[in-house]
């Protein structure tokens, strides 16, 4: 176990030393728009300058919480639990009274992103399960109320897609709905209340309806105001969606979800290069992003555990690529081959925490089968919840 944990422990040590401050995981991020397209490469090349661009993504905090609870389970060292609780308290401190979290990047100032909120509540649910402290559950339930009242959904026939931002009806983005399936399964399992699964059949119907014959789930499909975008970082988004739906399937055994998973995994298998790297997109460009490959490795490993096929060789190939990329001090470069020749070597805590999460997921034993829930089941909600 010590040998297997060497790589994630070095990464954890780097994150703790470089980015863990004031009970938050802080640091730069590739960001959006011009920063993502241009400025991050300048900052990477001039890394010796004191760039003041640290941000605090709630998504990063949630991954860090999950990472530390996983390390507590694997090592038995309570210090990881202390970090997880401290970070969870910070997530709660940043939650608004209405239950949402502000988006931390200036380009989207004033918006409330669904992904940020779901991840924040997911981390808090994990802390409730490990610590038993009801304040974490209460904060997660406050987010769920905000989700229902302010985020909202786009409904079309029997299909339901969660909105990308609060009070903003745009294109339907399947990745958000897949993540919501995971969260609702977590919430139902944690509370013992199957009514939290009520929207899941509609979310699954949406995913099934938009899945293409190749198995690929498009990035965005037509909504009320915005055009669709089919191929965008195809393989990593589909790997994440498969992992989210697997998490939902573990609790519900929903056969419709299993059919989606099978097709996604088959599609993503075509996105792994011979050297083990994940292709950046469906054009198989030279660009390589390390956290993409880590997500593929975790997805293939889980697919093998589920008996979906002989995906162990693909998992091993992708994992080997990730392990070779680790630097001696524990961090990983972000990307290679951007625009064919650029690279980004900066340490981005949000994506490093994702890599750590997927490395630990590969090493953890298969999840124990919980008591199954009927997706359309009914139950009593906690007092105060609608």
Q: In the prediction, which pLDDT does 371 show?
A: 55
Instruction: Identify the three-state secondary structure at position 51.
Output: coil
What's the DSSP call for residue 107?
G
pLDDT of amino acid 385: 40
The SS3 assignment for 118 reads helix
Count of CB atoms within 10 A of residue 34's CB? 10
CB 73 within 8 A of CB 364: yes
Q: What is the DSSP letter of 307?
A: T
Look up residue 216 and give its two tokens: 């690929």
294 contacts 320 by C-beta, under 8 angstroms: no
Whether 7 and 323 have beta carbons less than 8 Å apart is answered as: yes
> What pLDDT was estimated at residue 378?
36
Per-residue pLDDT tens for 55-69? 999 999 999 999 999
Query: Which token pair is 12?
Result: 């954890």
Identify the CA nearest to 268 among candidates 236, 310, 244, 232: 236
pLDDT at 49: 83
Angstrom CA distances, 304 to 246, 262, 311, 318, 372, stand at 12, 11, 5, 14, 21
pLDDT of residue 381: 40
Residue 152's Cα: distance from chain center in Å?
20
Sequential pLDDT tens for the chain (386 residues)? 556 789 999 999 999 999 999 999 999 988 866 777 787 878 888 887 887 789 999 999 999 999 999 999 999 999 999 999 999 999 999 999 999 999 998 888 889 999 999 999 999 999 999 999 999 999 999 999 999 999 999 998 999 999 999 877 777 899 999 999 999 999 999 999 999 999 999 999 999 999 999 999 999 887 644 567 777 889 999 999 999 999 999 999 999 999 999 999 999 999 999 999 999 988 877 889 999 999 999 999 999 999 999 999 999 999 999 999 999 999 999 888 877 778 888 899 999 999 999 999 998 877 766 556 666 543 334 333 43
How far is residue 111 from each of residues 15, 57, 100, measured CA to CA in Å? 28, 13, 10
pLDDT at 345: 86
Question: What's the CA gap between 182 and 177, in Å, rounded?
Answer: 9
**pLDDT score recorded for residue 380:** 38
Distance CA(231)–CA(111), nearest Å, equals 25
pTM: 0.92
């Amino acid at each position: 176990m010590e040998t297997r944990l060497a790589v994630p422990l070095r990464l954890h040590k780097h994150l703790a030393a470089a980015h863990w401050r004031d009970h938050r995981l802080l640091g730069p991020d590739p960001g959006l728009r011009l920063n993502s397209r241009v400025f991050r490469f300048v900052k990477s090349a001039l890394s010796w300058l004191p760039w003041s661009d640290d941000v605090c993504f709630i998504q990063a905090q949630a991954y860090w919480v999950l990472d530390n609870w996983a390390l507590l389970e694997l090592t038995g060292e309570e210090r990881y639990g202390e970090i997880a609780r401290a970070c969870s308290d910070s997530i709660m401190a940043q939650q608004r009274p209405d239950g949402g979290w502000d988006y931390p990047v200036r380009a989207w100032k004033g918006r409330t992103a669904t992904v940020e909120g779901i991840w924040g509540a997911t981390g808090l649910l994990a802390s409730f399960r490990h610590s038993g402290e009801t304040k974490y559950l209460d904060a997660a339930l406050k987010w769920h109320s905000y989700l229902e009242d302010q985020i909202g959904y786009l409904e079309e026939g029997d299909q339901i897609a969660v909105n990308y931002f609060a009070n903003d009806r745009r294109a339907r983005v399947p990745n958000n709905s897949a993540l919501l399936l995971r969260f609702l399964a977590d919430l139902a399992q944690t509370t013992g209340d199957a009514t939290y699964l009520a929207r899941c059949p509609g979310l699954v119907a949406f995913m099934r309806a938009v899945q293409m014959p190749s198995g690929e789930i498009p990035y965005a499909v037509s909504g009320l105001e915005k055009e669709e975008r089919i191929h965008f970082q195809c393989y990593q988004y589909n790997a994440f969606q498969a992992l989210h739906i697997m998490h939902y399937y573990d609790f519900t055994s929903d056969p419709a979800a299993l059919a989606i998973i099978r097709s996604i995994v088959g599609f993503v298998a075509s996105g792994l290069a011979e050297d083990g790297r994940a292709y950046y997109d469906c054009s198989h460009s030279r660009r390589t992003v390390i956290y993409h490959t880590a997500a593929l490795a975790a997805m293939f490993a889980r697919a093998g555990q589920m008996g979906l096929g002989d995906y162990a060789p693909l998992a091993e190939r992708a994992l080997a690529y990730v392990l070779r990329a680790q630097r001696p001090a524990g961090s990983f470069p972000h990307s290679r081959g951007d625009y064919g020749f650029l690279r980004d070597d900066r340490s981005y805590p949000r994506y490093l925490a994702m890599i750590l999460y997927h490395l630990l997921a590969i090493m953890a034993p298969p999840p124990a089968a919980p008591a199954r829930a009927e997706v359309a089941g009914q139950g009593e909600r906690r007092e105060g919840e609608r």
